[in-house]
Amino acid sequence: MNIALAQLNYHIGNFEYNTKKIIDHIQLAKDKGADLVVFAELAICGYPSRDFLEFDEFIELCEEAANEIAQHCHGIACIVGLPIKNNTIAGKDLYNAAHFIEEGKITSTVKKALLPNYDVFDEYRYFEPGSEFRCIEYKGRKIALTICEDLWNINDNPLYISNPMDQLILQKPDFMINIAASPFSYAHDDERMVVLADNARKYNLPLLYVNQVGAQTEIIFDGGSVAFDRKGSLLDEMKYFEEELKIYEIKGSEISGYSPMAHEPLSDIEQIYHALILGIKDYFHKSGFSKAVLGLSGGIDSAIVCALACRALGPENVMAVLMPSKYSSDHSINDALLLVENFGCQHEIIPIKEAADSFDSMMSSAFKDLPPNLAEENIQARCRGIVVMAMSNKFGYILLNTSNKSECAVGYGTLYGDMCGAIGVIGDIYKTQVYELAKFINKDAEMIPLNSIVKPPSAELRPDQKDSDSLPEYDVLDKVLFQYIELKKSSRAIIAQGYDETLVRRIIKMVNNAEFKRYQTPPILRVSPKAFGMGRRMPIVGKYLS
């Protein structure tokens, strides 16, 4: 049997687009000699559809699309994911399901049993768990079909009390297929490989796994669909961050034509780079926009965002706005201009001194001659926010936010100033990772000026200002933040590792006190195992660890 895995980029709620793409790839797979073509979890509607799933019409459009797809399944079968109605009154109204379609008809339906409800996942909000498990029979073979999380209950700390495969294996299937919408993080591909290999080994069956690719707002899917033999050895690995269709021949209970291979992932930084490019590109394409604007300061954060935007959208579609204050150094302006020259993007220079001075004059009576402090600094940052938002309104640009994860974590940013934007490009990357990303971008040529990388970071909102005036050094700060955010360690546990107690308590307090700011920031492209946004939900007024 020849089985095609179709690793595709879907668009949430764009039924015409998704349906056409699926039908086109059914025909492509048929032309290449496939007997069966497999699409990803919730391919018809896109993942995650969130509260679109609560609209009856949305589900009806999924059903209509499935029926249209079925008309093109003659001489070839397909597996495609979609939400379906739960006709039993008790329980949730929907199932996360997969149809098996052959000869123009839906002949089997599999319902996802294990519904993740952690980090970015919220499936039990919408779906009822499947409770019946039957293999699919096709061309004399038995297929054990599961949906994403259904294979993930195999580690030392199981989240669920049952495994669908424990039921399916009793029916003596010939091989397993798993369809998924497995989000990217720089650590997730290694974990995914272990889980899938363990399943193949445990059930002594070959496994074909198809993942979707593409970005859906902040969540990025990396593809990387794979084939394993019955011993749990990796046989093949499809492309990452790209669409691909590939055919695998199953003879008996073996995948033919492949030998065991090693999983050799890209470095974390290279994975992050490709993920962010895809995240930017899809955010614009799927939102119907093409041009970006950002504030370019001459520092490393905005330089990285500008570089990524130029490579994702083309430099002709990127507007970099230099907004020097009265405290900006000449080298910052020159560094920004050199970056613009290196990448060839558009730019404007709009000084903010006049606007900031006007605000200072306007507020002088209300401020009652008190000495300048954070208020005046933030006025400057908000002047910059007004400028880039004005450019966005006037020319239809989408504003890119340039705050990094370290800044987002401790609240080192100005609401309605440098924290504004439509999408946070590097808000899930710590400052120390930003430096690594700059080195990666410069691996072939110095595109990001060296001075932007080596100079001490500064907001340049007061004379001789440095980030280190307000924050611990980033190499220490980021380590503590990682322990607290990604590893969810308490202050006591972090201090026990040898970190200074006063420093740890100060950092954690800053993180918790900044929660109200993060509620008002743009969605952030997720590249880590624990990103700010939908995957990390904290109370604003909570006392714990503050």
Domains and CATH numbers, the chain: 2-257 (3.60.110.10), 271-471 (3.40.50.620)
Is 257 marked as a binding-site residue?
no
- Catalytic residue chosen out of the listed positions 21, 111, 112, 291: 112
Is 458 marked as a binding-site residue?
no
Please report, for residues 21, 26, 65, 101, 120, the alpha-carbon distance to residue 112 in angstroms, rounded to integers and kept in the order given. 24, 23, 20, 17, 18
- What average pLDDT values come out for the chain (546 residues) when binned by 10 residues? 98 98 98 98 98 98 98 98 96 97 98 96 96 96 97 86 95 98 95 96 98 98 98 98 98 93 95 98 97 96 98 98 85 93 97 95 92 92 97 97 97 95 98 97 96 83 75 95 96 96 96 95 97 92 77
Confidence at residue 546, expressed as pLDDT on a 0 to 100 scale: 60
Is 332 marked as a binding-site residue?
no
Is 279 marked as a binding-site residue?
no
Is 75 marked as a binding-site residue?
no
Confidence at residue 356, expressed as pLDDT on a 0 to 100 scale: 94
Report how far residue 189's alpha carbon sits from residue 266's, in angstroms, rounded to the nearest whole number: 10
Amino acid letter, 74: H
DSSP of 64-106, one letter per residue?
A: HHHHHHHTT-SSSEEEEEEEEE--SSSS-SEEEEEEEEETTEE
Is 489 designated active site? no
Report how far residue 145's alpha carbon sits from residue 40's, in angstroms, rounded to the nearest whole number: 12
Is 16 designated active site? no
Confidence at residue 458, expressed as pLDDT on a 0 to 100 scale: 76
Instruction: Check the CA dihedral 302-305-307-310 and report its sign.
Output: negative
Alpha carbon dihedral 68, 72, 77, 81, in 10-degree steps, equals: -30
- Catalytic residue chosen out of the listed positions 73, 78, 135, 148: 148
**Across-strand partners of 146?**
178
Q: Which of 149, 281, 234 is nearest to 224 (CA)?
A: 234
Is 297 marked as a binding-site residue?
yes
Evaluate whether 250 touches 3 at the Cβ level (below 8 Å): yes
H, E, C per residue of 119-154: CCCCHHHCECCCCCCCCEEECCEEEEEEEHHHHCCC
Is 378 marked as a binding-site residue?
yes
Q: What secondary structure letter does DSSP report for 1?
A: -
Is 73 designated active site? no
Is 299 marked as a binding-site residue?
yes
Is 232 marked as a binding-site residue?
no
Evaluate whether 279 touches 215 at the Cβ level (below 8 Å): yes
Is 118 marked as a binding-site residue?
yes
Confidence at residue 16, expressed as pLDDT on a 0 to 100 scale: 98
Phi and psi at residue 440, to the nearest 5°: -65, -45
Confidence at residue 107, expressed as pLDDT on a 0 to 100 scale: 98
Tokens at 365, concatenated: 């009576």
Confidence at residue 455, expressed as pLDDT on a 0 to 100 scale: 86
Report how far residue 104's alpha carbon sits from residue 305's, in angstroms, rounded to the nearest whole number: 48
Report how far residue 146's alpha carbon sits from residue 419's, in angstroms, rounded to the nearest whole number: 42
- Catalytic residue chosen out of the listed positions 21, 30, 41, 377: 41
